[in-house]
C-alpha cells in the first residue's frame, strides 16, 4: 500500500519501537488492508489503518458484535478514501468552502499517519484502557499552514475517537470537519434513529431548516445536516439506532442496536446513499446501503456560528461508540 519501501520500513521500525512496551497493540500488515494497528484489550478490539488514521473495525466484547460497517469493495490502494469504518474528514467537511476542485472531505483521510504514543491502563494485569495517539504526516496543504491535528483513539468499554486541532498561527482559521462513522445495521428499513432532533438542511433538495421526523425511519436516500441553533462544544449528544419492525409493522419489541455519544460538534450528519447511489459507487456493493447508516459528529458551515479557531485555540471533536 505504501509505495516507497524504505519509507515503509522506517515507519514500521518507528511503530514497533513505540508499541514494544504495550501488550494490547500489534502491527497488522496485510495485502488486503495495508499497514494497520490492531488493538485488543479486556473490553474490546479495534483496527486502525495507518492510511487516513481510519478506524476499520470496532468490536465490543460485551456482545462481541462489530459496530462499524466496512464496504466489501473498499479500495485499499493508499490513495483512495476508504469506504466505511470511520473516515477522518479534516480540515473541511464535504466540498471546500471556496475551492470546488479541492478533494471532498479534506486531506486527512488520504494520507499516512505516524504513531505518536500508546498509553495503557491495567487492572489485575489485564489492560482495560488503551489510548493510541496518531498524527497525519502533512497537515500543511491546500493553503492551511498553521493548523495541526492529532487523532486520539481510546479503547475501553467503549471506543472513543477524538480529533484534536490546534491553531498555531496568528490568524483565525475556519474549521469544518467530521468523524464520518459508518455504523453496521441489520436492515436499514427496520431501524429508528433517536436523538437527531434538531432542524436539518437537506443536501439532496437544497432546503434548509426542515423539521426532524417524529419517527426517524429510512425509506430513501438521505443526506442531512442537523445543526444546533447554538453551538456549545461541551454539550454531549446521545444518538441511538433502535432496531424495530418496518413502518408497516410497528408493534415489534424495540432494542438499541447502537449507542453513540458525541461532543465538540455543531452538527450531526445523517447519510445513506440508498439504492441508485450505491450502484453508482465503485467501492460499494449495489445493496451495501441496506446494512449501513452514517452518523457523523461534525462541524459544518451550515451551523449558525461555524467553528472559528483563534490563535492558539485547541478544539476537540469527539465520538464515543458503546
Interface residues with ligand BG6 (CB under 6 A) are 81, 94, 104-105, 180, 203, 223, 269, 271, 296
Residue 219 in contact with residue 291, Cβ under 8 Å?
no
- Measured from the CB atom, the residue of 104 and 187 that comes closer to ligand BG6 is 104
Closest approach, Cβ 273 to ligand BG6, in A, equals 7
- Measured from the CB atom, the residue of 132 and 284 that comes closer to ligand BG6 is 284
Closest approach, Cβ 126 to ligand BG6, in A, equals 37
Closest approach, Cβ 265 to ligand BG6, in A, equals 13
Report helix, strand or coil for 33: coil
- Measured from the CB atom, the residue of 22 and 293 that comes closer to ligand BG6 is 293
Report helix, strand or coil for 73: coil
- Measured from the CB atom, the residue of 148 and 202 that comes closer to ligand BG6 is 202
Closest approach, Cβ 89 to ligand BG6, in A, equals 7
Cell numbers placing 132: 493510541
Closest approach, Cβ 96 to ligand BG6, in A, equals 12
- Measured from the CB atom, the residue of 25 and 222 that comes closer to ligand BG6 is 222
Whether the ω angle into residue 91 lies within 30 degrees of 0, i.e. cis, is yes
- Measured from the CB atom, the residue of 44 and 87 that comes closer to ligand BG6 is 87
Closest approach, Cβ 321 to ligand BG6, in A, equals 17
- Measured from the CB atom, the residue of 162 and 223 that comes closer to ligand BG6 is 223
Residues 6+ apart with CB under 8 A from 90: 106, 107, 108, 109, 149, 163, 165, 175, 177, 178
CA distance 220 to 203: 14
Closest approach, Cβ 4 to ligand BG6, in A, equals 26
Closest approach, Cβ 75 to ligand BG6, in A, equals 11
Report helix, strand or coil for 235: coil
Residue with the shortest CB distance to ligand BG6: 104
Residue 71 in contact with residue 283, Cβ under 8 Å?
yes
Residues 6+ apart with CB under 8 A from 41: 24, 120, 126, 127, 128, 129, 130, 155, 156
Cell numbers placing 45: 478490539
CA distance 114 to 10: 11
Report helix, strand or coil for 149: strand
Residue 163 in contact with residue 298, Cβ under 8 Å?
no
- Measured from the CB atom, the residue of 118 and 293 that comes closer to ligand BG6 is 293
- Measured from the CB atom, the residue of 60 and 302 that comes closer to ligand BG6 is 302
CA distance 225 to 223: 7
Closest approach, Cβ 296 to ligand BG6, in A, equals 6
Cell numbers placing 121: 491502563
Cell numbers placing 138: 502533512
Residues 6+ apart with CB under 8 A from 101: none
Amino acid at each position: 500500500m505504501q509505495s516507497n519501501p524504505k519509507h515503509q520500513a522506517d515507519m514500521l521500525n518507528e511503530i514497533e519501537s513505540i508499541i514494544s512496551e504495550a501488550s494490547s497493540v500489534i502491527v497488522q500488515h496485510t495485502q488486503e488492508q495495508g499497514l494497520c494497528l490492531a488493538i485488543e484489550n479486556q473490553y474490546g478490539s479495534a483496527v486502525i489503518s495507518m492510511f487516513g488514521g481510519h478506524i476499520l473495525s470496532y468490536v465490543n466484547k460485551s456482545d462481541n458484535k462489530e459496530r462499524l460497517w466496512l464496504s466489501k469493495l473498499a479500495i485499499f490502494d493508499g490513495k483512495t478514501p476508504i469506504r466505511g469504518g470511520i473516515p477522518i474528514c479534516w480540515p473541511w467537511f464535504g466540498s471546500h468552502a471556496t475551492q470546488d476542485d479541492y478533494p471532498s472531505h479534506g486531506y486527512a483521510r488520504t494520507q499516512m499517519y505516524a504513531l505518536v504514543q500508546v498509553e495503557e491502563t491495567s487492572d489485575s494485569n489485564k489492560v482495560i484502557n488503551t489510548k493510541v495517539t496518531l498524527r497525519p504526516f502533512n497537515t500543511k496543504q491546500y493553503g492551511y499552514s498553521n493548523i495541526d491535528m492529532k487523532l486520539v483513539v481510546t479503547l475501553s468499554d467503549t471506543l472513543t475517537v477524538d480529533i484534536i486541532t490546534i491553531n498555531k498561527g496568528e490568524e483565525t482559521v475556519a474549521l469544518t470537519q467530521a468523524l464520518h462513522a459508518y455504523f453496521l445495521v441489520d436492515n436499514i428499513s427496520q431501524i429508528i434513529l433517536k436523538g437527531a432532533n434538531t432542524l436539518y438542511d437537506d443536501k439532496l433538495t437544497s432546503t434548509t431548516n426542515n423539521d426532524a421526523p417524529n419517527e426517524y425511519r429510512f425509506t430513501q436516500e438521505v443526506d442531512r445536516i442537523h445543526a444546533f441553533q447554538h453551538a456549545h462544544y461541551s454539550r454531549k449528544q446521545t444518538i441511538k439506532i433502535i432496531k424495530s419492525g418496518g413502518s408497516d409493522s410497528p408493534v415489534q419489541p424495540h432494542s438499541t442496536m447502537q449507542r453513540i455519544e458525541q461532543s465538540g460538534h455543531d452538527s450531526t450528519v445523517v447519510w445513506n446513499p440508498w439504492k441508485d447511489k450505491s450502484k453508482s459507487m465503485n467501492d460499494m456493493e449495489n445493496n451495501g446501503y441496506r446494512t449501513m447508516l452514517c452518523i457523523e459528529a461534525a462541524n459544518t458551515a451550515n451551523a449558525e456560528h461555524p467553528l472559528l479557531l483563534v490563535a492558539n485555540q485547541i478544539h476537540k471533536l469527539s465520538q464515543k461508540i458503546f
